[in-house]
Structure 1
Amino acid sequence: MSLEERFDIVRSIGEECIQDEELKNLLANKPQPICYDGFEPSGRMHIAQGVMKTINVNKLVSSGCKVKIWIADWFAQLNNKMGGDLKKIQAVGQYLIEIWKDAGMNLESNKIEFLWSSEEINSRADEYWPLVLDIARRNTLRRISKCCQIMGRSELNALTASAAQIFYPCMQCADIFFLKADICQLGMD
């Protein structure tokens, strides 16, 4: 597959690409870019989430990318999904993985890796938490509050927000560096 074809495939799934030229250079110079896609296990999957994620991940794999799917179980717990019960959250996460398998996600390629945030963070805490703290230190509360859409909330009120709501965006930003992601396949929030 040519560089232009790879670029067109990867670009076709992105609603926003900060710099097309940077993406082309990445694809030209790194044989297997790492893509990051995270999700909170928080209940039933809607059809678009099942089908579109499968299609998009398969496109990334077909263009030579490795996809790390971050199962954000601790994030769901911070967001009080499933009543904050980590066992229930993890059961939902496993259910979602099974749906993607059944929907045809190309797992035989060995280019798709499901990673549980709780396991990865615990096993490499000495790498993860310094990243989170550095991000928190470098950003104002005002800046962090603008990121609260990632938690399904509007901009937070500093007087009523929980500490988790402030910490969550710092953790999500750290995930990108922690997973050494080249491409972030996230929502537009």
Structure 2
Amino acid sequence: MDKIDIVKRNLVEIIQEEELEELISKGIQPKIYAGYEPSGKIHLGHLLTIFKLLDFKRIGFKVIVLLSDLHAYLNNKGSLEEIEEVAKMNKKVFEATGLDADYVIGSSFQLDPEYMKNVLILSRKVTLNRARRSMDEVGRNMKTAKVSQIIYPLMQVMDIARLDVDVALGGIDQRKIHMLAREEIPEMGFRKPICAHLPIIEGLDGEKMSSSKTNFIAVDDSEEDIEKKINSSFCPPGSIENNPIIAIFKYFIFQRYDKVIIERDIRYGGDVVYSNFTNFKNDYLEGNLHPVDLKKNAINYLNKILSPIREKI
């Protein structure tokens, strides 16, 4: 697998792929960042971006992890003191995944006069409607949005500029903010970022996975917790639509294992081996795999993946 294929796997889109290919071909060490609001436990949604950062690290990128404490505060995720404590715990978990990165606390530079001056300059360039639209999929309680949540995307744009990164990585819900950065910061003398977007994976109830809900698997969940959560999760037979168990296989299990063995009783056909996700998915769609067998094997594989992380926390 060549470098571009490594970084492309599991991404929804790259804006623009040609720019990324050119960047990789230069033979320099480019920089990629992802920002995280410290607002709860690190779950599989976060692990998806961590795995992708590890992919970029593997092909020679410098990785920056921004623990966006002020963003969490602006987005109503707790007091500054509470967020500070969560940030410390989050960093410990990130490090336990083996991600060798520069860990940066947002408030370490976001209160600097030059940074805030640029946020104000940007605020004169961006309409109120666009700033609000860019937060629609990111913000909490946007029907009663606070002014702080309009400042949020402007600061995220300036984070990209200040950190001087080549690539901004995030979920597809970050797309509008990233597009704002691509369009506006070059006129302010900063480089235009390449944007890499991951899917938003389903929670155990088939809805968006979120730290504010109880529909996630945390990376430090015990084996017993994972078994209980998986066994009670949504997994419609013969359907991959909003199916969290299928998502776990696609984005985590097949990401880590070249060969996936679905162990099952000989009465139901015995064990079956898959070397790629497509064949696995098609068998499930055709009814050749039962949800119970998927859940049992998802539990086993997830515990293998998460056990080394749990041991280090």
Please give the range of the TM-score, normalised by the shorter of the 2 chains: 0.7 to 0.9
CA distance in structure 1 between the aligned counterparts of 2:36 and 2:152, rounded to whole angstroms: 13
CA distance in 2, matches of 1:171, 1:181: 15
8 A contact 2:76–2:140 mirrored in 1? no
> What is aligned with 1:60?
56
Per the normalisation by structure 2, the TM-score is 0.51
Question: Residue 151 of structure 1 corresponds to which residue in structure 2?
Answer: 139
1:41-56 maps to which residues of 2 (within 5 A)? Answer: 41-49=38-46, 51-56=47-52
The amino acid of 1:72's aligned partner reads S
Which whole-Å CA distance do the structure 1 matches of 2:125 and 2:86 have between them? 34
Amino acid at match of 1:36: Y
Deviation at 1:113, TM superposition (A): 0.5
Residue by residue, what CA displacement relative to the aligned partner does 1:124-148 show, whole Å, maximum 9, x if unpaired?
x133112212221111111111111
Amino acid at match of 2:36: F
1:22 to 7, 19, 22: 19
- Indicate the residue corresponding to 1:174 in structure 2: 158
Taking a change above 3 Å as real, the CA distance of residues 90 and 19 of structure 1, as seen in their structure-2 partners, is same
Return the structure number with greater helix share.
1
Q: Is the 8 A contact 1:127 1:178 kept in 2?
A: no
How far the C-alpha of 1:25 sits from its partner, in A, is 0.9
Cα deviation, 1:97-153, whole Å, max 9, x if unaligned, reads 111222232x2xxxx10100111223xx13311221222111111111111122245
Alpha-carbon distance in structure 2 between the residues aligned to 1:22 and 1:63: 16
CA distance in 1: counterparts of 2:141 and 2:60, whole angstroms:
35
Matched-pair identity in %: 32
Correspondent of 1:32 among 20, 29, 34: 29
Measured in 2, the distance between the counterparts of 1:95 and 1:146 equals: 31
2:128 paired residue among 141, 151, 169: 141
Secondary structure in structure 2 of the residue aligned to 1:128: helix
Residue matched to 1:114: 103
Instruction: Name 2:67's counterpart in structure 1.
Output: 71
Match of 1:93 among 83, 87, 92: 87
Could you state the TM-score of these two structures normalised by the residue count of structure 1?
0.82
Matched residue type, 2:88: Q
Question: Quick check: which has more Rg, 1 or 2?
Answer: 2
Task: Write the distance in 1 (CA, Å) between the matches of 2:50 and 2:127.
Answer: 36
Give the number of equivalent residue pairs. 172
Matched-pair contact (CA < 8 Å) for 2:37–2:68:
yes
Contact 1:14–1:185 (Cα < 8 Å) also in 2: no
Secondary structure at 1:138 match in 2: coil
Once superposed, which parts of structure 1, at least 4 consecutive aligned residues long, lie more than 4 Å away?
Answer: none
Letter of the 2:120 partner, please give it: L
Question: Could you tell me which residue of structure 1 aligns to residue 98 of structure 2?
Answer: 104
In structure 2, stretches of 5+ residues that fail to align are: 174-313
What's the offset of the Cα at 1:33?
1.1
The 3-state SS of whatever aligns with 1:81 is coil
Give the alignment's Cα RMSD to 1 decimal: 1.9
Q: Residue type of the partner of 2:22?
A: N
Please report how far the alpha carbon of residue 41 of structure 1 lies from its aligned counterpart in structure 2 after TM superposition.
0.4
Distance in 1 separating the partners of 2:117 and 2:3? 35
Post-superposition CA distance 1:154-182 (Å, at most 9, x none): 5x6xxx53210111111111111111111
Q: Counterparts of 1:47 and 1:19 in 2: how far apart (Å)?
A: 26
Letter in 1 for 2:84: Q
The amino acid that maps onto 1:42 is S
